[in-house]
């Protein structure tokens, strides 16, 4: 029986690696051409303002937009990518990559930006691609972004900067990353949530768990329906980060604090052992919190399975996976693909 399992694993691995080889060169070629700020020919994006408010002929406004473009080209941080449109200079599409150390790590968060006719006297209009999830109180289901710099914040007595004619789009994107997609979004919600909700570290950790689950659900939707002009960016991002995402799910299920460092499963690793976890600082391990939170663990189990299937469909790097016979995961046949973990 053991020899049959090994032979089956080998056949499946060889088949999958051949499939990956066929499209690997094309993905890498397109990925390397993906600049942080890029201008393309595209005129089929819908206006978030409506046609009546779209103009790009006013000299001062146009010059200010071109200044914004230059700033984006020269100063974008490594985790933000933007596309401009040659025929529609008043529209941009941006993606912010979730940073390590936050519950948003490895996620892709897309925003459509449009300059109104009153720009720069009024801020740009920014719409978030929510995919139906309210990832953060400042990111509405309908795509509204609540930010002081956009004059849309509901917070009072905030120290965040407000819009002025000297502001620019880069400041908006960096502000979203800093004030919304940070390591403790719970604390940034304190002026929205009732006071009794934000008085303990335990609740902050629980909030991060919820944020990570919503981040995962958003990632799955982005993989399934990537925004136009970012299809290859999305595919290559998740091909590169698949092992990290799966490893995070396993680590958080075992009690790792969301956002804290976790071990990445190496190629052909058969376990996420307790020894590898013990090499991390004990202050990052929640021996009771994640384990007692059965709802969170159940969500992670479901998301792990969904991620795995999604990665199979989009051409995951198979060298990080093991093929095994298992009755604990659903599959269409007797062979189920999964990363081995110690339960």
Q: What pLDDT, in 10s, does the model give residues 293-321?
A: 788 999 999 999 999 888 888 766 444 44
Give the count of alpha carbons within 13 A of 235, CB side only. Answer: 20
> Which residues constitute the domain of residue 319?
1-33+232-343
Kindly tell me if the per-residue pLDDT of 94 is higher than 70: yes
Kindly tell me if the per-residue pLDDT of 47 is higher than 90: no
- pLDDT, residue 194, reads 56
Q: Is there a single domain that holds both residue 106 and residue 181?
A: yes
Cα–Cα nearest to 114, from 122, 102, 105: 122
Q: How far apart are the C-alpha atoms of 29 and 191, rounded to whole Å? A: 46
Q: Are 321 and 339 in contact (CB under 8 A)?
A: yes
Mean pLDDT of the chain: 76
Average pLDDT, integer, range 143-169: 86
Q: Is there a single domain that holds both residue 210 and residue 316?
A: no
pTM more than 0.85: no
Last residue of one domain, picked from the residues 194, 210, 229 = 229
Q: Is there a single domain that holds both residue 205 and residue 311?
A: no
Q: Is there a single domain that holds both residue 206 and residue 249?
A: no
Last residue of one domain, picked from the residues 199, 229, 259 = 229
Q: Is there a single domain that holds both residue 64 and residue 181?
A: yes
Higher pLDDT, 156 or 239: 239
Domain of 174: which CATH number? 3.10.110.10
Last residue of one domain, picked from the residues 207, 229, 251 = 229
Higher pLDDT, 57 or 75: 75
Q: Is there a single domain that holds both residue 213 and residue 84?
A: yes
Average pLDDT, integer, range 212-234: 95
Rg (CA), the chain: 22
Q: Is there a single domain that holds both residue 219 and residue 314?
A: no
Q: Is there a single domain that holds both residue 214 and residue 196?
A: yes
Average pLDDT, integer, range 81-96: 94
Residue partners of 17: CB distance under 8 A and separation at least 6: 318, 319
The total number of structural domains in the chain stands at 2
Q: Is there a single domain that holds both residue 219 and residue 324?
A: no
Higher pLDDT, 279 or 325: 279
Kindly tell me if the per-residue pLDDT of 170 is higher than 90: yes
Q: How far apart are the C-alpha atoms of 67 and 49, rounded to whole Å? A: 22
Q: Find where tokens 């088949």 sit.
A: 15
Q: Is there a single domain that holds both residue 183 and residue 272?
A: no
- pLDDT, residue 316, reads 61
* pLDDT interval class at 53 (50, 70, 90): very low
Q: Is there a single domain that holds both residue 256 and residue 150?
A: no
Q: Are 269 and 330 in contact (CB under 8 A)?
A: no
Task: Dump pLDDT digits (tens) for 242-281.
Answer: 888 999 999 998 888 998 877 766 542 333 333 443 444 4
Kindly tell me if the per-residue pLDDT of 189 is higher than 80: no
* pLDDT interval class at 133 (50, 70, 90): very high
State the distance between the two ends of the chain, measured CA to CA, in whole angstroms. 23
Q: How far apart are the C-alpha atoms of 69 and 278, rounded to whole Å? A: 47
Cα–Cα nearest to 11, from 318, 226, 241, 329: 318
Q: Is there a single domain that holds both residue 72 and residue 201?
A: yes
Cα–Cα nearest to 339, from 260, 278, 253, 261: 253
């Amino acid at each position: 029986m053991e020899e049959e399992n090994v032979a089956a694993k080998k056949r499946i691995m060889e088949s999958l690696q051949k499939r990956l080889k066929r499209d690997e060169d094309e993905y890498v070629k397109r990925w390397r051409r993906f600049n942080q700020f890029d201008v393309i020919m595209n005129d089929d994006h819908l206006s978030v303002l409506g046609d009546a408010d779209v103009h790009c002929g006013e000299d001062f406004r146009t010059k200010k937009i071109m200044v914004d473009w230059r700033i984006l080209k020269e100063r974008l941080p490594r985790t933000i990518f933007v596309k401009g449109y040659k025929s529609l200079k008043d529209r941009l599409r941006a993606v912010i990559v979730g940073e390590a150390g936050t519950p948003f790590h490895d996620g892709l968060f897309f925003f459509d930006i449009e300059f109104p006719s009153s720009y720069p006297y009024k801020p740009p209009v920014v719409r978030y691609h929510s995919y139906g999830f309210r990832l953060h109180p400042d990111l509405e289901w309908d795509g509204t972004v609540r930010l002081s710099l956009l004059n849309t914040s509901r917070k009072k007595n905030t120290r965040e900067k407000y819009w002025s004619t000297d502001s620019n789009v880069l400041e908006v994107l960096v502000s979203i990353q800093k004030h919304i997609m940070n390591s403790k979004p719970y604390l940034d919600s304190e002026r929205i949530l009732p006071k009794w909700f934000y008085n303990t570290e335990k609740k902050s950790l629980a909030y991060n768990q919820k944020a990570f689950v919503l981040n995962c659900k958003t990632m799955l939707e982005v993989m399934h329906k990537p925004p136009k002009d970012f299809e290859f960016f999305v595919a290559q991002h998740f091909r590169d980060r698949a092992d990290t995402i799966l490893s995070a799910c396993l680590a958080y299920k075992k009690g790792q604090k969301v956002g804290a460092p976790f071990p990445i499963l190496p190629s052909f690793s058969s376990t996420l052992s307790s020894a590898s976890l013990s090499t991390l600082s004990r202050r990052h391990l929640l021996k009771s919190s994640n384990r007692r939170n059965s709802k969170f663990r159940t969500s992670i189990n479901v998301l792990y399975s969904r991620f795995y299937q999604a990665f199979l469909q989009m051409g995951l790097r198979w060298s990080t996976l093991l093929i095994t016979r298992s009755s604990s995961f659903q599959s269409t046949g007797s062979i189920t693909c999964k990363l081995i973990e110690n339960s």
